[in-house]
Amino acid sequence: MVLDNIEKLLKKYENGETTLKEEQVLKNYFSSDTVAPHLEMYKPMFDYFLVNQQEQFTKDVPLKTKNIFNYKWISVAAVAVLMMGFYFSPIIANSDCNDLGTYCEPEQALEEVSKQLAMISNHFNKGTQTVGYLNEVDKGTSALGYLNEIENTTSIIFKN
Amino acid sequence: MTQTEFLNIVMPFKDKVFRLAKRLLVSTEEAEDATQEVLLKLWNNKAKIEEYKNVEAFSMTMTKNFCYDKLKSKQAQNLKIVHSNYEEKNTPLQKQIELNDSVSWVGRIIEELPEQQRVIIQLRDIEEYDYDEIAKMLDMNNTAVRVTLSRARKAIREKLTKTHNYGVR
């Protein structure tokens, strides 16, 4: 009885006349294990349909929220920068050469320079004092000169 | 429209879009690219999305058209990677495995069908849309859909019976 029904449905199915419900009946029948032997060739087809229903799209889609860039803001920023410029520029003009790290008065500059030079020469003298210790080394080497005497005597011994 | 709202609309049918694309383009990677493209197009036109009566049907139509374009441009490229001077004596391993597996055999049979029949089989037998929806998606009339579907089903059945009776060659 069931088989009769299935065969009828299959015929309708092939003619494209089945409703979705009837197709579901067919799918259920063929996914069971009790398929009549002469209908077995349909089984892979319905199995395939069922398997393919499961396939999923796994890739991510980069959804970019489009930032519609508003050019108005550029003008706002430009105005702000300009205002800052106007606000700070007088200060720079007033401060003359002080910001450049030099002295404005020549006398003051001379004083400073001589101070610096004096400091440098001070340090330099300290350096030469420590170098004085090198004389000691010289003395040591002259003492080593006596070794030559020993060499002379050994050469005499080896000659004999 | 925010991203979450958009995703809520798109999520239910994105797999269907992917499967349709895969049915037409065969390669999974290309189908993924196509799906991405379709979803991005939808996203870029999200302002208009509320005007569409049926977003799902609309995206399926879009997918179909997109894939047809892809296939056409592929044929036009005229560059095919075909071994002309190389012949494998044994059946390739992958083919052997495929032949053993009668379910994937069905997939290969469907692959050989004309594009339109493939689309309709996909929409009806796998995605289970009703005839009116399919007709709308493909811009065909109801009877034409039925006729094409019936042809496709008969073709599949014929090939299946052949392989069933003679064994897989």
Tens-level pLDDT at each residue, chain B (169 residues): 778 888 888 888 888 899 998 888 888 888 888 899 888 888 888 878 777 878 888 889 999 999 988 888 876 665 555 555 555 555 566 656 655 577 777 888 888 888 889 989 888 888 888 888 889 888 888 889 889 999 998 998 888 888 777 655 4
Distance (Å) from the alpha carbon of A74 to chain B's nearest alpha carbon: 25
Average pLDDT of chain A, as a whole number: 81
Nearest to B22 by CA among B56, B71, B57, B58: B71
Domains of chain B: 1-79 (1.10.1740.10), 92-169 (1.10.10.10)
Residue A80 pLDDT class (50, 70, 90 cuts):
very high
Query: What's the whole-number mean pLDDT along residues A71-89?
Result: 87
Q: Is the pLDDT of residue A106 over 70?
A: yes
DSSP state of B107: H
Within-domain flag for A156: no
Q: What local confidence, expressed as pLDDT, does residue A115 receive?
A: 93
- A/B interface, count of CB pairs below 8 Å: 78
In three-state form (DSSP H/G/I as H, E/B as E, the rest C), the secondary structure along chain A is CHHHHHHHHHHHHHCCCCCHHHHHHHHHHHHCCCCCHHHHHHHHHHHHHHHHHCCCCCCCCCCCCCCCCCCHHHHHHHHHHHHHHHHHHHHHHHCCCHHHCCCCCHHHHHHHHHHHHHHHHHHHHHHHHHHCCHHHHHHHHHHHCHHHHHHHHHHHHHHC
Q: What local confidence, expressed as pLDDT, does residue A114 receive?
A: 93
In A, which residues are within 8 Å of B105 by CB distance?
A: 44
Q: What confidence tens digit (pLDDT) does each residue in A130-156 have?
A: 777 778 888 888 888 788 888 888 888
DSSP state of B126: I
In A, which residues are within 8 Å of B19 by CB distance?
A: 52, 55
Q: What local confidence, expressed as pLDDT, does residue A16 receive?
A: 84
Q: What local confidence, expressed as pLDDT, does residue A119 receive?
A: 93
CA distance between the termini of chain A: 136
Within-domain flag for A44: yes
Residue A160 pLDDT class (50, 70, 90 cuts):
low
Q: What local confidence, expressed as pLDDT, does residue B169 receive?
A: 47
Within-domain flag for A37: yes
Distance CA A31, CA A25 (A): 10
Within-domain flag for A23: yes
Within-domain flag for A122: no
In chain A, residues 42-71 whose CB comes closer than 8 Å to chain B = 42, 44-45, 47-49, 51-53, 55-57, 59, 61-63, 65-66
Q: Is the pLDDT of residue A81 over 80?
A: yes
Within-domain flag for A157: no
B39, B14 in Cβ contact below 8 A? Answer: yes
Q: For chain A, how many structural domains are there in total?
A: 1
Is A61's CB within 8 Å of B18's CB?
no
Range of the domain at A35: 2-53
Is B147's CB within 8 Å of A45's CB?
no
Residue A79 pLDDT class (50, 70, 90 cuts):
very high
